[in-house]
Structure 1
Amino acid sequence: MIGIFLVNILMALAWGAMSGSFEFVNLVFGFVLASALLYTIREQIGSGGYFKRAGRVLSLAGLFVYELVLSAWRVARMVLTPDISNLKPGIIAYPLTVDRDFEITLLANMVTLTPGTLSVDVSRDRAVLYVHCIDVPDPEATIEEIRNGFERKILEAFR
């Protein structure tokens, strides 16, 4: 899997050398071009899993952008509402399904980068992520939203 990714990068660099331009946009074009080439010969080189994983990583990135926009909209509405007495801030204990350091770090960072939430800590046994929410009227719904959103997509993309 990683070998195919490195081949893809080397082919993009070869494209840069052949075209005489190592500008970012040209290298991205070379990467996409190399991906298309590798995709056409995927059965011969056994790289079908590489493209499935790439699609899953793109799906995770799309979900993150969607949640980022949605959360930014929610926080902007909260800020522009003169009455903040309805807000229920709190810290929730999110039970982790992910157990690898990379996955925990990615989940914690995605939660932190989403407006209105902040990863506070991970328990010593790496089983619980503590998340501060600016408004958490239903902690169980928030836990389910994270479980069925970011965490599910992380598991799909990296396992």
Structure 2
Amino acid sequence: MNLFVLNIAFAALFVTLLEGGGLPTFLFGFALGYAVLWLTKPLYPKTRYFQKFPKTINLTLFFLKELAVSNLKVLWDVITPKHINRPGIIGVPLAARSDLEIFLVANLLSLTPGTLSVDLSEDRRTLYVHVMFLEDVEETRRQIKSGLERRVLEVTR
């Protein structure tokens, strides 16, 4: 059985045994289940669950931080009389190759206020992104590649 599914089942059983408690109880049960599975990892054949799960959490936290920062930046631009936006479209060369990798990078970028994935080149090596606050093209490319794309690739590869 997939260890992630087993961990979910453990968390659901934990919630059932405690007769409810909602999301906090489920998350605590999930963390407890992860700890139990980690302690017993010599019993399982080779699995990447213990390497991938922390990277998935890292991607999620990074995305939530970027989401909060970009929301505040857009909010500030909307409520202040002087606009700070400098929109532009840039091409970001992609290291992502599979459909899933490109899909995740493009859609997570689009979900973040202030950026929007516009197009993908025919050779699937360049993602065109509309950026609302474009000060330095190379720095923006570097932030996308070393931030979001790197974390997506860590999870998917």
Structures share a fold, TM > 0.5? yes
Q: CA–CA distance in 2 between the matches of 1:31 and 1:153?
A: 22
Aligned residue number for residue 30 of structure 1:
29
After TM superposition, list the pairs within 5 Å mapping 1:148-159 onto structure 2.
148-159=146-157
Aligned residue number for residue 81 of structure 2:
82
Q: CA–CA distance in 1 between the matches of 2:65 and 2:145?
A: 16
Q: Deviations over 1:93-119 (max 9, x none)?
A: 111111111111111111111111111
Q: CA–CA distance in 2 between the matches of 1:69 and 1:96?
A: 25
Q: From the superposition, tell whether residues 122 and 79 of structure 1 become closer, same or farther in structure 2 (CA, over 3 Å).
A: same
Q: From the superposition, tell whether residues 90 and 11 of structure 1 become closer, same or farther in structure 2 (CA, over 3 Å).
A: same
Aligned residue number for residue 94 of structure 2:
96
| Structure 2 gap segments, 5+ residues each | none
Q: CA–CA distance in 2 between the matches of 1:28 and 1:88?
A: 41
Displacement after TM superposition at 1:10 (Å):
3.1
| Structure 1 gap segments, 5+ residues each | none
Q: CA–CA distance in 2 between the matches of 1:39 and 1:157?
A: 18
Aligned residue number for residue 60 of structure 1:
59
Q: From the superposition, tell whether residues 47 and 8 of structure 1 become closer, same or farther in structure 2 (CA, over 3 Å).
A: farther
Find the residue that maps to 1:88 and give its secondary structure: coil
Q: CA–CA distance in 1 between the matches of 2:134 and 2:63?
A: 20
Aligned residue number for residue 41 of structure 1:
40
Aligned residue number for residue 120 of structure 2:
122
Find the residue that maps to 2:116 and give its secondary structure: strand
Find the residue that maps to 1:118 and give its secondary structure: strand
Query: Are the aligned partners of 1:116 and 1:133 in contact in 2 as well (CA < 8 Å)?
Result: yes
Find the residue that maps to 1:137 and give its secondary structure: coil
Q: CA–CA distance in 2 between the matches of 1:66 and 1:47?
A: 33
The worse-fitting range, judged by mean Cα deviation, of 9-18 and 103-112 is 9-18
Percent identity over paired residues: 38
Displacement after TM superposition at 1:153 (Å):
1.0
Displacement after TM superposition at 1:14 (Å):
4.0
Displacement after TM superposition at 1:17 (Å):
5.2
Number of equivalenced pairs? 157
Displacement after TM superposition at 1:18 (Å):
4.7
Aligned residue number for residue 107 of structure 1:
105
Q: CA–CA distance in 2 between the matches of 1:50 and 1:132?
A: 35
**How well do the aligned residues superpose, as a CA RMSD in angstroms?**
2.3
Displacement after TM superposition at 1:28 (Å):
3.6
Find the residue that maps to 2:2 and give its secondary structure: helix
Q: From the superposition, tell whether residues 36 and 47 of structure 1 become closer, same or farther in structure 2 (CA, over 3 Å).
A: farther
Displacement after TM superposition at 1:73 (Å):
2.0
